[in-house]
């Protein structure tokens, strides 16, 4: 079945460490997105990519980096510059057509230890 | 800057009662989504509303859209415990061939026996 796979499900980061969250989709979707969710809050957009080798900053991009070398993959790196990275991270994708919808992954919960 | 506001933020209701969640947004939207989220889980798509006056129903949930008032509602009829979850509205805007969702803060619904 087609879908979005995020890994790992749980991730622990030490202070000053960079970590990378994986997001892979086999839906042949063009656009991919990363959202951050803090407890009791809505989702905020970190980065998004409409096509391979191109991406744009969202509302809270500071301390994060992404790449889009393949259509299926959109990894997110949480750098040491992100001072409060503990959150739930959701990846999403969207097909580029008139009748489009978003598909969300199952999420990665990142905790700083 | 697009703002999406939901109210109430928390809703405790008895089984069998009716209630409405409101979603206001600050700028013209191309489409509006409603999602459900269970604790620790990803988002489940409920409705996509495409045009003014759109109404969609699934079981005990009904969503509507008034683009002139920039308002969407999610009406719950005869609530049951299984509907306990957090509900988000999200506004989708297409600009320069790039589409992205902006989420409301969510409404945590608790249905009590």
Per-residue confidence (pLDDT) for residue B49, from 0 to 100: 92
Per-residue confidence (pLDDT) for residue A50, from 0 to 100: 92
Contact yes or no for A88/B38 (Cβ under 8 A) = no
Backbone torsions φ then ψ of B7, nearest 5 degrees? -150, 145
CB contact set of B55 (below 8 Å; sequence gap of 6+): B62, B63, B64, B65
Write out pLDDT tens, residues A53-87.
Answer: 999 999 999 999 999 999 999 999 999 888 899 99
Chain A: which residues have CB within 8 Å of chain B?
31, 33, 35, 40-45, 48, 50, 56, 58, 88, 90, 92, 94, 100-102, 104-107, 109
The residue behind tokens 């509507």 is B64
* Token pair of A12 as six digits: 């622990």
Per-residue confidence (pLDDT) for residue B52, from 0 to 100: 84
Per-residue confidence (pLDDT) for residue B93, from 0 to 100: 84
- Per-residue pLDDT for B50 more than 70? yes
Write out pLDDT tens, residues B2-27.
Answer: 899 999 999 999 999 999 999 999 98
Write out pLDDT tens, residues A12-48.
Answer: 989 889 999 999 999 999 999 999 999 888 899 999 9
Tell me which residue in A40, A90, A101 faces B42 most closely, judged by beta carbons. Answer: A90
Write out pLDDT tens, residues B55-92.
Answer: 999 999 999 999 999 999 999 999 999 999 999 999 99
Per-residue confidence (pLDDT) for residue B113, from 0 to 100: 86
Sign of CA dihedral A25, A30, A34, A39: negative
For residue A54, the tally of other CB atoms under 10 A from its CB is 10
Contact of B97 with chain A, judged by CB distance below 8 Å, is answered with yes
Per-residue confidence (pLDDT) for residue A16, from 0 to 100: 86
> Cβ separation of A33 and B106 shorter than 8 Å?
no
């Amino acid at each position: 079945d087609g879908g979005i796979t995020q890994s790992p499900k749980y991730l622990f980061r030490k202070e000053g460490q960079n970590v990378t969250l994986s997001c892979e989709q086999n839906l042949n979707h063009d656009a991919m997105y990363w959202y951050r969710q803090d407890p009791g809050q809505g989702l905020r957009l970190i980065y998004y990519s409409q096509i391979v080798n191109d991406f744009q900053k969202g509302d809270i991009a500071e301390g994060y980096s992404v790449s889009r070398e393949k259509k299926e993959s959109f990894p997110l790196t949480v750098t040491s510059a992100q001072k409060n990275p503990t959150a739930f991270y959701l990846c999403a994708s969207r097909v580029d057509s008139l009748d489009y919808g978003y598909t969300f992954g199952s999420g990665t919960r990142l905790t700083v230890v | 800057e697009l703002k999406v506001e939901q109210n109430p933020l928390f809703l405790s209701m008895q089984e069998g009662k009716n209630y409405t969640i409101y979603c206001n947004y600050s700028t013209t939207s191309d489409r509006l989504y409603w999602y459900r989220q269970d604790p620790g889980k990803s988002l489940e798509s409920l409705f996509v509303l495409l045009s003014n006056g759109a109404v969609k129903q699934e079981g005990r949930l009904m969503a509507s859209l008034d683009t002139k008032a920039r308002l969407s509602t999610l009406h719950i009829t005869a609530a049951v415990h299984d509907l306990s979850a957090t509900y988000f509205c999200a506004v989708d805007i297409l600009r320069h061939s790039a589409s992205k969702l902006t989420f409301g803060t969510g409404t945590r619904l608790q249905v009590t026996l």
